[in-house]
Amino acid sequence: MGHLFSLFSNRAIAGANPFPWRAAIPFKSIQTYTYWMTRPNKDASHLKVLREHLVQEKVLPSYAKLGALLGLRGKAGAYKVIQRLVSAGYLEHTSGGRLAPTDSFFALPMLDDTLHAGLVESTSWSGGVAAQALDRLLVEQPASTVLVPVRGDSMIEAGVLDGDTAVVERTENAEAGDFVAALVDGQYTVKELRFEHRRPVLVPHNKQYETIRPQQELQILGVVRGIVRRYEQGRRSARKRGENL
């Protein structure tokens, strides 16, 4: 609810009716301006609480428990919060009437600036953000996409490292230059697909490895659409590398 304000001219009227638009006062003696002031809410904080609850409990709370979880006094306040989150596209009602997260529920803020890896003249960001679900950055066809763990260093010169996770769209159609997940002569691998004399070959991106030329079987399982990597804390990574801390 907003607060309705009325501003009057300097000709104040003693003992005026608190609802002057109902009083018999000449129109010219009053200048009335009305506007709605939006009351600030804590929906961002409430959404964070619901995200953490869903991760821990694997289910969203009922309306009866929402008030206590969000620090609200009663069901009415919780209901209003949920309605706003539904309108914003973070939640939806299932056919059974229960609350369910939408694809945007875990959307992360994305800066509208580019983060440079080298030196830049200014380190400030404009601060503009837009909600972006992480999976949508990498996945175009969810029904035909799988995650494949990467093992080995045969693709390190292409930036694909041991321990990465490849986002693979399952398809038998691949073009020269695509990174593919393939089954070649009984071995699974991730390599770049190329052709030699119209015959497919799999090319590593590490000079220590040779091009794979299928002898018996080559089955393209899918095309790599993206790579996911999670970095450890610097101290643990340095310790693994044997560096002095």
Higher pLDDT, 242 or 214: 214
Q: What is the pLDDT of residues 157-212, one digit of tens each?
A: 999 999 999 999 998 889 999 999 999 999 999 999 999 999 999 999 999 999 99
Q: What residue spans define the domains of the chain?
A: 1-39, 43-101, 142-228
Would you say residue 107 has pLDDT above 80? no
Positions marked catalytic: 154, 191
Nearest to 180 by CA among 189, 211, 229, 200: 189
The lowest-confidence range among 36-40, 115-119, 127-131, 233-237 is: 36-40
Does the predicted TM-score (pTM) go above 0.85? no
What's the fold here for domain 43-101?
Arc Repressor Mutant, subunit A (1.10.10)
Tokens of 32: 């009335």
Q: What is the pLDDT of residues 45-75, one digit of tens each?
A: 888 899 898 888 888 888 778 888 888 877 7
CA dist 236 and 99 (Å) reads 40
Indicate the CATH number of 142-228 among 3.30.70.360, 3.30.830.10, 3.40.50.720, 2.10.109.10: 2.10.109.10
Count CB atoms within 10 A of the CB of residue 12: 7
For residues 128 and 139, is the Cβ–Cβ distance under 8 A? no
